[in-house]
Amino acid sequence: MKHSIVLVTGTTSGLGHAAARLLAAEGWREIIITGRSLARIKETAAQLMAETKTPVFTPLEMDLDTPASVHFALAELVKRGRPIDFLLLNAGMVPGKARVLTAAGVEASQAPLIGHHQLTVGLLRANLLSPNARIVIAGAEPARGGVPMFNYTDVPAFAAKYHQGDRTAAVEALIRNGPNVKYVPNNSYADAKLIIAWWAAALARRLPSGMAVYAVSPGAATATKVSRQASLAVKYLFIPIANLIPGMNQTPETAARRYLQASEFGTDVSGQFFASAQGKFSGPIEAQRHPHLHDRVNQEAAWKAVVKVSGVGLSTT
């Protein structure tokens, strides 16, 4: 890919910050970095410039939990009029013990996907993604299953029990943590990341020829702020164990490098979810083949639910 313009969400700390540094080292001409606060993201841009000795960072204020903020950021990008070659949708949240809903009624760990969807569709509508653009969205290992203390919802069964078999309604209920959804932080996180994998698969079918999207788990990287709201079990049991077992943890830079690796993948694997091998949380990434990830009905249900919640759709090409 031509290393021209990249946009990275969630860059004030953690994996987004690490990814921005790596992108600068790879020679990207402009790296647009986003954060909730304009003052904070300007500080981050200055910090990254000092760290990398490269003046390539452009700060952009964007709060993914607030549709008006995403709309404002899109307007700024439209005003610039320069297409983005690599869209890295990194921002995310591990939910805490107490359920938190945004002003739009979206559960906190689900909210980044809604904002990312609004951003991505807005860029597509405005022709602000280059013809061969790559989109990478942060997934997580629990989406594939088999991760201790994290269990995703069986959407077909949940839909059959509570929504007359309507999987779109079932996914919307998970996004909003609505009626009949019991709030369990780790399970909400697993659901959020599974819906992301389904969303990426559905988006791939709607992208113009030449573009591609991938959901990518960065793997375990505990030296970030993403788990600041996590449950006590994750903070004081799962993370300490991960820190002690060889191969269970990695640096933020190593984790973020997975995003950059995926940005070089071809269109033949567009829509795939890439994560560690089964039973691992670091090391090489591979396309996940679990049947629940490839259920097209679930993928389309996730897309339709996100469209409904966000109020933003995209025609199938």
- The residue type of 282 is S
| The listed CATH number (2.40.50.140, 1.25.40.10, 3.40.50.720, 3.40.50.10310) that belongs to domain 5-308 | 3.40.50.720
Cα end-to-end span (Å), the chain: 23
Strand pairing class (285-287; 273-276): antiparallel
Q: Which of 56-70, 104-118, 220-234 has the lowest mean pLDDT?
A: 220-234
What percentage of residues in the chain have a pLDDT greater than 90?
Answer: 85
Q: What is the pLDDT of residue 25?
A: 96
R_g of the chain computed on alpha carbons:
18
* Amino acid 315: pLDDT: 72
Task: Count CB neighbours of 105 within 10 A.
Answer: 12
What distance in Å separates the CA atoms of residue 288 and residue 194, rounded to the nearest whole number? 12
pLDDT at 107 over 50: yes
CB 22 within 8 A of CB 52: no
Q: Is residue 91 over pLDDT 60? A: yes
For residue 234, pLDDT over 70 is answered with: no
Count other C-beta atoms under 10 Å from residue 66's C-beta: 16
State the chain's mean pLDDT as an integer: 92
Q: Determine the pLDDT at residue 246.
A: 47
Q: pLDDT grade, residue 226 (50/70/90)?
A: low
The DSSP code sequence of 20-33 is HHHHHHTT-SEEEE
| Residues contacting residue 246 through CB under 8 Å, at least 6 positions apart | none
User: If you ran DSSP here, which 8-state letter would residue 234 be given?
Assistant: I
Alpha-helical (H) ranges within the chain are 14-25, 38-52, 67-80, 111-125, 155-162, 167-176, 185-204, 232-233, 239-244, 252-262, 296-310
| 140-174 pLDDT tens trace | 999 999 998 999 999 999 999 999 999 999 999 99
Angle of helix 67-80 relative to helix 111-125, nearest 10 degrees? Answer: 30
Percent above pLDDT 70 for the chain:
90
Lowest-confidence region among 74-78, 116-120, 195-199, 279-283? 279-283
Average pLDDT over residues 21-40: 97
The two tokens of residue 191 are 């659901």
* Number of neighbouring beta carbons within 10 Å of residue 148: 11
Assigned token pair, 221: 């990287």
Least confidently predicted of 1-10, 68-77, 114-123, 294-303:
1-10
Predicted confidence at residue 284, as pLDDT, reads: 92
Q: Which residues pair with 57 in a beta bridge?
A: 31
The position carrying tokens 């201790």 is 148
Residues 6+ apart with CB under 8 A from 166: 159
Model-level pTM? 0.91
How distant is the alpha carbon of residue 311 from its chain centre?
19
Q: From CA 95, how far away is CA 81, in angstroms rounded?
A: 36
Of 94 and 223, the structure prediction assigns the larger pLDDT to 94
pLDDT-based confidence at 183, cuts 50/70/90?
very high
Residue 245 has pLDDT above 70, yes or no: no
- Mean predicted confidence (pLDDT) in 29-42: 97
Cα separation, 112 vs 125, in Å, equals 20
Please, which residues have CB within 8 angstroms of residue 45's CB and are 6 or more apart in sequence? Answer: 33, 57, 58, 59
